[in-house]
Amino acid sequence: MGQLLSFTDKGLYCPAGDFYIDPWRPVAKAVITHAHSDHARWGHQYYLCHTYTKPILQARLGNNHYETVEWDEPVFMNGVKISLHPAGHIIGSSQIRLEYKGEVWVVSGDYKTEDDGISGAFTPIPCHAFITESTFGLPIYNWKKQADIYNDIRQWVTHNQQQFNTSVIIGYSLGKAQRIITALAPLQQPIYVHGAIWNMQQAIASAGIVLPEVIRVTPETSKAELKNSIVIAPSSAEDSPWMRRFSPYRVGVCSGWMQVRGNVRRHNADAGFTLSDHADWNGLLSSIAATGAEKVYVTHGFQSTLSRYLNEKGIWSAEVKTEYGGEEENAEADTITPVAE
Ligand SMILES: [Zn+2]
Ligand SMILES: [Zn+2]
């Protein structure tokens, strides 16, 4: 097997096709898995991405040379066949399949195995080499079913309302927020959102995706209408003056990291919901096995643990050092320029 991708200091590089996948330094040609800021960076001369990803990139990075494709619509660069396939992570998120002289490599980007109804359903793609993330690559990470988590969130909101508290739900503005909105829609109540989430909603709507209606919190929003209401905000809003207008309120954080005891307290939250846009431990293992890959390269997360585990199971694996990661915890403010308020 040849080396269809090489791991360079600018990112994952395909020498035969002369392009990069999710490069972290400015390059001539970038193929983008998804619009999170650590994967889709500023400064490339050309971006190839899924149709749904383009309006989000435009909102984040401004005008650039963007070219879009649908899932499973091949593009050729110097004879390398490139196609994008659903990764199930966030809207537009894609696995990137490369084929050259009979050899197939797949870069998964970030992915999640349970279908959230918004992000496209992840399907494993047979390949010779698979590049996987490992954000939650430890056996302790096992997600509850999405329907059950959504139920928990709704019950928590209802309980807060009985106690005359506003429910402030914290979630990453691209990916998580749209799922929280979906989870809350059955309550048939107004859903208020922070400006960062509002901006994201507009970008997503311009991609032609219909989400439940939300109301933007502005300085004019009255305290009376917010009383006992539902508010969704990014983590940058936690413990900020912006939150004061909701008083009395309860804070619930949605994140895969909530699986670990102590993280609810660390966030100063009243509740934690283990809702993640990434595969859990079993999701990673079953996806890797389903590709049938001879070689598995492991990127950001718990790469040494996952890579060692795969090698012990007889699957050739190596760690790859990248500059991806951090999106669930700290990169929130970076997702989109928040409107001052
Ligand atoms: Zn991501
Ligand atoms: Zn990532």
Write down how long the chain is.
Answer: 341
Measure the CA–CA gap between 74 and 83, rounded to whole angstroms: 5
Q: Which two tokens stand for residue 135?
A: 């954000």
Measured in Å, residue 227 CA sits from the centre of ligand 1 at 33
Give distance in angstroms: CA of 36 to centre of ligand 2.
7
pLDDT at 53: 97
- Rounded to the nearest angstrom, the distance between the alpha carbon of 134 and the centre of ligand 2 is 9
Distance 159 CA to ligand 1 centre (A): 32
Distance 207 CA to ligand 2 centre (A): 22
Domains in the chain and their CATH numbers? 6-140+277-330 (3.60.15.10), 146-273 (3.40.50.10890)
Ligand 1 ion local residues (Cβ < 5 A): 36, 110, 327
Tokens linked to 285:
């293992």
Mean pLDDT by 10 residues, the chain (341 residues): 92 98 98 96 97 96 97 98 98 98 98 97 98 96 98 98 97 96 97 96 92 96 95 92 94 94 87 97 98 97 97 97 72 36 31
**Residue 39 C-alpha to ligand 1 middle, in angstroms?**
7
Cα(167) to ligand 1 centroid in Å equals 26
DSSP string, 293-318: -SEEEEEEESHHHHHHHHHHTT-EEE
335 alpha carbon to ligand 2 midpoint, in Å? 13
Ligand 2 center to 158 CA (angstroms): 33
Residue 152: per-residue pLDDT:
98
**CA 161 to ligand 2 center in whole angstroms:** 36
Q: Find, among 191, 143, 197, the residue nearest to 171 by Cα.
A: 197
- pLDDT, residue 328, reads 54
pLDDT (0 to 100) of residue 327: 58
